[in-house]
A and B are shown apart, each in its own frame.
Chain A
Amino acid sequence: MSGSLDQLIRQHWWAAVATLCRLTGDLDAAEDAVQDACVAALERWPVTGVPGNARGWLIGVARHKAVDRMRREAIRGAKEAASVRELDEAGHGPDIPAEPADTLSLMFLCCHPALDASARVALTLRSVCGLPTAEIAAAFLVPEETMAKRLVRAKAKIRDARIPFRVPGQAELPGRLGGVLRVIYVLFTEGHMASRGEALVRGDLCDTAISLARAVAGLLPGEPEAMGLLALLLLTDARRAARTDEVGDLVLLEDQDRSRWDGDLIAEGEAVLEAALRCGRPGPYQLHAAIAACHSTTGSADQTDWRQIALLYGELIRYEPTPVVEANRAVAVAMAEGPAAGLVILDALAYHPQLQRWAQLHIARAELLRRLGRDGDAADAYRAALDLEPAAASRSFIARRIREMT
């Protein structure tokens, strides 16, 4: 019972915190009030049953809790007393509707570029998704105390530097939306290719990221990049079941059992991507999604249109001129024109200091060297990848390859 109540409450957390944030003008006060309301719900709902408008109930109770709390603190100063009056007058009645503008504003607040990048992801999980600090700490494998400090610091900055709670205007929106989408993408990537821990895929983080992407795309229907991100996540997540074998080891895309890909997710991802492309404003997430779609529409790996994928990566470089995109293009070129052509690009990149720390590059080089029959060089490249301590699943994949060749 309390498990499903927890879930129910978490569904409404975002809207409740967002509404309270608008009413109180303070994220911390909003979260405390909603937390209090959730405690009240967990006590009362098992007895009275879940109210018809659970969200309205939570928001209404949270507002009362916030007024109580501010009243207790109002003794301190006139400014607080004025806030209490305002809050008390704001929206009397059975429930205050949660407005889409509020939920979006909260997302933009948590993803503000003036906040530390790792704090943005953590704050989104806390304030938007309602994850307890302990769970966020566990997701990023840091001690709970460290995560709590990170969150406190981020909220202090929001308050002290007065980071606004609002949807950015048209002029700022493209840049700021990029920041929001980036947080969701980082969250998904952390779940999809866990950089830490034993499991390669952490499905809970993937699910959270997809529901955020879905919500943001729904709230900003005119933004093709928001749809592009949603499409990308759906198309990528569709391969989740096939990405690891029965013992949890990584399975490369070309070796995956495509019958285990989720057809519903693929269909939805493609539909969302088409809608995005129809807007006629391409962007990096739409290109990433188009690349993912190239894979998901092909029945077997050897039918993959690598020329098209190489072209899409070439386009992507215009938006993301990073060695990582160039490395991916190299792999596509290798598939379209042979391993030697791809290796030329990868060898040039291998000297990039930033990329030397990237295990995927060494793995990609090793694969091409292996295909060229240069087993000794391939094994060296695999060992270079191993030295970088990738996640356990990648580790045993690499070890197997080295065993096969030596």
Chain B
Amino acid sequence: MKYMLLLNRTADALPEPGTPELGRIIQEYGAAVEAMGRAGVLIDCGALTARSSTTTVRVRDGQTIITDGPSAEIKEQLGGYTIVECADLDEALKWAAAIPAARDASVEIRPIVAMQAPG
């Protein structure tokens, strides 16, 4: 059984690069993830950029409707996830619009923070 763990946070964005706050976060998350890795349970993980860089895609009557920001629709709930590697947002938008959820509700596109591999 695969489980998706959804990580919530109270601040919109991660702390600035080079700050002690970010250093501590990286260290603590690193330890948690490393333990999962050693136990062989980790599939993938990543941090998301600021909520304000979210784009929402809906398809209605065959038309793709793109809006800035997360979905404000209170009736919608998170039902799944897909991670795609794309050259830019336009390519990601194209794939997002092809997901059935875009027709029934919406698909939110949230960039994953690009992490440089350590060492």
Contacts and interface: CB of A to CB of B under 8 A. Distances in A.
B47 to A, nearest CB: 12
B44 interface: no
Nearest to A162: B88
Given A160-B50, A168-B90, A116 B68 contact: yes
Contact of A114 (B49, B50, B87, B89): B89
B111 A160 contact: yes
B68 A115 contact: yes
B28 to A, nearest CB: 23
A95 to B, nearest CB: 29
Contact of A153 (B52, B67, B87, B111): B52
Interface residues of A, number: 18
A119 B55 CA distance: 14
A186 interface: no
Interface string B55-75: 100000000101111000000
A164 B92 CA distance: 11
Contacts of B64: 175
Given A113-B67, A116-B69, A119-B68, A157 B52 contact: yes
Q: Taking chain B's interface residues, is the majority helix, strand, or loop, or is none over half, making it mixed?
A: mixed
A162 B54 CA distance: 11
B66 A164 contact: no
B111 A161 contact: yes
Interface in B69-114: 69, 87-90, 93, 109, 111
B66 A114 contact: yes
A110 to B, nearest CB: 13
Contacts of B90: 163-164, 168, 172
B53 A156 contact: yes
Interface band, chain B: 10 to 19
B30 to A, nearest CB: 20
A373 to B, nearest CB: 44
Given A153-B52, A156-B50, A172-B90, A161 B109 contact: yes
B68 A162 contact: no
B89 A161 contact: yes
Contacts of A117: 68
A161 B86 CA distance: 11
A117 B90 CA distance: 17
A154 to B, nearest CB: 9
A157 B88 CA distance: 12
Contacts of A160: 49-50, 53, 111
A116 B109 CA distance: 15
Nearest to B68: A116
Interface in A144-192: 153, 156-157, 160-164, 168, 172, 175
Contacts of B109: 161
* Most chain A beta-carbon contacts within 10 A, residue among B49, B54, B88, B89: B89
Nearest to B53: A160
Contacts of A156: 50, 52-53
A114 B52 contact: no
Contacts of A163: 88-90
A367 to B, nearest CB: 36
Contacts of A162: 87-89, 111
Contacts of B49: 160-161
B33 to A, nearest CB: 22
Nearest to A154: B68
28 contacts: A113-B66, A113-B67, A114-B55, A114-B66, A114-B68, A114-B89, A116-B68, A116-B69, A119-B68, A156-B52, A157-B52, A157-B53, A157-B68, A160-B49, A160-B50, A160-B53, A160-B111, A161-B49, A161-B54, A161-B55, A161-B89, A161-B111, A162-B88, A162-B111, A163-B88, A164-B88, A168-B90, A175-B64
Interface of B: 49-50, 52-55, 64, 66-69, 87-90, 93, 109, 111
Given A114-B89, A160-B111, A162-B87, 19 more contacts: A112-B89, A114-B55, A114-B68, A117-B68, A119-B68, A156-B52, A157-B52, A157-B68, A160-B49, A160-B50, A161-B53, A161-B54, A161-B109, A161-B111, A162-B88, A164-B87, A164-B88, A168-B90, A172-B90
